Amino acid sequence: MKEELERLFAEALEKLKGAVEERQVAEIKTEFLGKKGKITALLRGLVNISQEQRPVMGCLANEIKVSLEEKIKESLAVIRERKRKEDLLHESLDITLPGRRVPIGRKHPITEVCNEIIGIFLGLGFQISEGPEVELDYYNFEALNIPKDHPARDMHDTFYISDEVLLRTHTSPVQIRVMEKQSPPIQIIAPGKAFRCDSDVSHTPMFHQVEGLMVGNNITFGDLKGILTTFVHQMFGYKTRLRFRPSFFPFTEPSAEVDMQCVICRGKGCRVCSFSGWLEILGSGMVDPEVFKIVGYNPNEITGFAFGLGIERVAMLKYGINDIRMFFENDMRFLGQF
């Protein structure tokens, strides 16, 4: 048995010398040390020799087995190192060069402006309220004093899902939902997405709005002017002039659109402001008494105001952008500037 063990060991070493691939080394290991390997089979024959010879042969067999396993590991290490060097010779990547930094992501300009707007109103005591983007006709129109035959519906190019379900055209329905559940005083803003069938340089089918509502005792138009003036000054600078221009909204009376001094020409007149020196920024007004009646408030006891502004509109004015579609085209040359 001793001669046979030594012969098998020598045979295995000779084969390892000729192995040039990991696969070949694995096959040699299986041939000699596998469950049905030559050395393994020989070790099973230890039971057939005398008890005096059995410890000696067992010790020798284990030494050969351990030695062969070490030789196999050495052979694998040599093959792998040779393979690594060959790969490096043909590899186009120079691993000695310093690594490239992973680009750090930035917040989208709409997100930045939205967070800034929310931060200003939170500082003025407003709280955030949210509502569903898929809305009922009742909350989007009727509860806001816009019945089905009202001509103001023509101002909203609406995505209808069914006769009574639609994608909200503004975030004003959140105001109705809050007033239904909560008694005055109320001081909330409702940021979120809105949807209209419109697309050009100043409109997109999906856009972002922030609606505001303040309801309580003795709320006046002066309070509205003070809040919006503070907002514009914090957003665009304290030297920015603004004006309130009479307008019409079905759910506010009186109503006003707020214009601010053109951020491009500073009131001198340019193409952006159509040479008027002013840019429209938001709509506002005192809540119509009919809206209070719909939600169960007594319009003789409370008053309030509401306003709404488009976040994309504010971003365009803040950064001097003349095409709203740039926010949604995902051009990294554009987005990387913010």
Residue span of the structural domain in which 79 resides: 2-90
Residues with Cβ within 8 Å of 146's Cβ and at least 6 positions away in sequence, in order, are 152, 153, 250, 251
- Shared domain check, 166 and 25: no
In a domain, 200, yes or no: yes
Instruction: Report the domain count for the chain.
Output: 2
Taking the whole predicted model, whether its pTM rises above 0.75 is answered as no
Average pLDDT for the chain: 86
Residues 73 and 120 grouped into a single domain = no
Inside any domain, residue 101: no
pLDDT of residue 210: 95
| Domain CATH for 322 | 3.30.930.10
Residues 210 and 190 sit within 8 Å (Cβ to Cβ): yes
Count of H-run helices and E-run strands, the chain: 11, 9
Q: What is the pLDDT of residue 275?
A: 82
Confidence of residue 127 (pLDDT cuts 50, 70, 90): very high
Is residue 266 a part of any domain in this protein? Answer: yes
Please indicate, yes or no, whether residues 181 and 233 belong to a single structural domain of this protein.
yes
95 falls within a domain: no
Say how far apart CA 178 and CA 283 lie, in whole Å: 20
Amino acid making up residue 75: S
Pair (178, 41) in one structural domain: no
Out of 37, 56, 90, pick the residue that ends a domain: 90
Say what the pLDDT of residue 1 is: 65
Tokens of 139: 């909350």
User: Quick one: what percent of the chain has pLDDT higher than 70?
Assistant: 93
Q: Which residue has the tokens 């319009």?
A: 299
pLDDT, residue 198, reads 73
Choose the weakest-confidence range: 16-20, 50-54, 72-76. Answer: 50-54
Q: Which residues pair with 282 in a beta bridge?
A: 258, 309
- DSSP bridge partners of 213: 188, 306
Q: Tell me: pLDDT of 46 over 70.
A: no
Same domain, 85 and 119: no
pLDDT at 202: 62
Range name among 55-64, 81-90, 166-175, 283-292 with the lowest pLDDT average: 55-64
- Are residue 68 and residue 199 in the same domain, yes or no? no
pLDDT band at 7, cuts 50/70/90? confident
Q: Which residue has the higher pLDDT, 336 or 162?
A: 162
Same domain, 153 and 196: yes
At residue 331, the 3 state secondary structure works out as coil
* Section 237-245 average pLDDT: 89
**141 and 49 within one domain:** no
pLDDT computed for residue 172 by the predictor: 93
Quick one: pLDDT band at residue 272, thresholds 50, 70, 90? low
Query: Is 103 within a domain?
Result: no
